[in-house]
């Protein structure tokens, strides 16, 4: 049965690609998967909390008369302003990037000559995890925008100029991208087989890519006080509050970021424990991403930034395992992952993310979620 499903999926996707070309097929798959996610997770389309702040900022990004705690994270709101997706329409901007992320992942792995089913499964590592789910239940949040840029930054690692440009765009979206900077450097060393000159060149490009981000922060700071600055995050009160909230729950929150997909980095760390460069790469990226929990308490959201670790580890596993065995295991893991209902951990609350049919049924009988 599984073998038949794999074969039929490959045949169906190849027919789509032959009829529409790979680019359009990737777009179709992006729409289908995003719609499926909206069934698995009850979506919301009314901005709140940080999403509301981004929406307000998109109305006039450089109106300094209005205080906004998120003013340093300018790029998504600027995109909304330029495209006309402002205010109550701003939530569409992150949704577009969610679609772009899903479509681009499928397109990327097909270009790497992965089979259609494997490309879909790799796409599911992000599309069927909190990386996209949280975006659907928290409209206006811009996490998926910098996930998209960071995915491209890792993808273009052998084109260091482009990789650095995408990293710079990620930083203009959210400063948390800095926690993937060590991972980018180590990944560059890993794929370039420790070529010192190339790695040093890449480091210089990454530092250069930080200049627009730094210049913008200096300019903003000279015009207006922004609440979420370094002094806020690294204040003793914030660190104390965050650790108090995070330490009891970070394992639960971490699990719901990717659920069973954590199997890939954990198993590959064990399987390739003698490959010091791979072990250092994976552990460094995980530690750097988790270190955000010292200053930020949205546990599941924060840990989603570790998504490149899962992709790198899954690719490593694919290169090690026989093709059919890998695909069957990946497919079974994906199916099993859906068996765990989705939650996300924020501060001291484990918040359910129920499927849309379930939420609809509860609303019909007068029980709101």
Q: How many CA atoms lie within 13 A of 326 on its CB side?
A: 19
Contact 57, 68 (CB under 8 A): yes
In a domain, residue 306? The reply is yes
Q: Which two tokens stand for residue 318?
A: 């694919």
Residue 73's pLDDT is what? 97
Q: Would you tell me how many other CB atoms lie within 10 Å of the CB of residue 229?
A: 17
Which element (helix H / strand E) includes 344?
A: strand 343-346
In a domain, residue 30? The reply is no
Contact 233, 191 (CB under 8 A): no
Residue 348's pLDDT is what? 74
In a domain, residue 266? The reply is yes
**pTM of the shown model:** 0.96
Tens place of pLDDT per residue across the chain (369 aa): 888 999 999 999 999 999 999 999 999 999 999 999 999 999 999 888 899 999 999 999 999 988 999 999 999 999 999 999 999 999 999 999 999 999 999 999 999 999 999 999 999 999 999 999 999 999 999 999 999 999 999 999 999 999 999 999 999 999 999 999 999 999 999 998 777 888 999 999 999 999 999 999 999 999 999 999 999 999 999 999 999 989 889 899 999 999 999 999 999 999 999 999 999 999 999 999 999 999 999 999 999 999 999 999 999 999 988 989 999 999 999 999 999 999 999 877 899 999 999 888 877 786 655
Residue 365's pLDDT is what? 80
In a domain, residue 294? The reply is yes
Residue 146's pLDDT is what? 98
Domains held by the chain: number: 1
Closest C-alpha to 304, from 270, 259, 349, 334: 259
Please give the residue range of the domain that contains residue 309. Answer: 237-349
The CA–CA distances, whole Å, from 351 to 127, 136, 140, 341 equal 19, 14, 18, 11
Which element (helix H / strand E) includes 359?
A: helix 356-364
| Radius of gyration, CA atoms only, the chain | 21
- Compute, in degrees rounded to 10, the torsion defined by CA atoms 281, 285, 291, 297: -160
In a domain, residue 319? The reply is yes
In a domain, residue 128? The reply is no
3-state SS, one letter per residue, for 202-218:
HHHHHHHHCHHHHHHHH
Contact 228, 53 (CB under 8 A): no
**Distance between CA atoms of 299 and 251, rounded to whole angstroms?**
9
In a domain, residue 169? The reply is no
**Distance between CA atoms of 111 and 209, rounded to whole angstroms?**
27
Q: Which two tokens stand for residue 138?
A: 């928290």
Residue 192's pLDDT is what? 85
Contact 13, 328 (CB under 8 A): no
The angle, 0 to 180 degrees and rounded to 10, between the axes of the packed helices 130-137 and 22-40 is: 60
CA angle, 34 then 285 then 347, to 5° = 65
In a domain, residue 246? The reply is yes
């Amino acid at each position: 049965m599984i073998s038949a499903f794999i074969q039929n999926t490959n045949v169906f996707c190849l027919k789509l690609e032959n009829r529409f070309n790979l680019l359009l097929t990737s777009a179709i798959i992006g729409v289908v998967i995003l719609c499926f996610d909206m069934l698995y997770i009850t979506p919301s389309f009314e901005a709140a909390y940080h999403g509301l702040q981004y929406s307000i900022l998109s109305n006039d990004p450089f109106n300094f008369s209005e205080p906004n705690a998120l003013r340093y994270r300018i790029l998504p709101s600027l995109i909304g302003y330029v495209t006309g997706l402002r205010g109550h329409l701003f939530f569409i901007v992150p949704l577009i990037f969610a679609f772009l992320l899903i479509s681009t992942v499928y397109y990327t792995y097909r270009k790497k000559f992965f089979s259609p089913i494997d490309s879909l499964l790799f796409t599911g590592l992000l599309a069927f995890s909190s990386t996209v789910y949280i975006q659907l239940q928290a409209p206006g949040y811009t996490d998926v925008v910098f996930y998209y840029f960071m995915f491209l930054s890792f993808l273009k690692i052998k084109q260091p100029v482009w990789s650095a440009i995408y990293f710079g765009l990620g930083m203009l979206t959210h400063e948390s991208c800095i926690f993937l900077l060590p991972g980018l450097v180590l990944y560059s060393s890993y794929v370039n087989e420790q070529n010192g000159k190339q790695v040093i060149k890449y480091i210089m490009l990454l530092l250069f890519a930080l200049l627009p981000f730094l210049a913008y922060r200096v300019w903003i700071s000279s015009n207006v006080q922004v609440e979420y600055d370094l002094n806020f995050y690294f204040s003793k009160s914030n660190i104390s509050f965050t650790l108090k909230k995070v330490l009891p729950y970070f394992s639960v929150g971490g699990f719901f970021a990717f659920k069973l997909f954590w199997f890939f980095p954990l198993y590959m760390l064990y399987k390739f424990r003698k490959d010091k460069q791979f072990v250092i790469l994976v552990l460094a990226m995980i530690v750097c991403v988790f270190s955000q929990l010292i200053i930020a308490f949205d546990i599941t959201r924060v840990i989603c930034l570790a998504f490149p670790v899962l992709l790198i580890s899954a690719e490593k596993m694919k290169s090690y395992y026989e093709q059919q065995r890998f695909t069957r295991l990946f497919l079974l893991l994906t199916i099993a992952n859906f068996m765990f209902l989705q939650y996300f951990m924020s501060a001291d609350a484990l918040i359910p993310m129920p499927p849309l049919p379930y939420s609809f049924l509860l609303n019909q009988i007068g029980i709101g979620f």
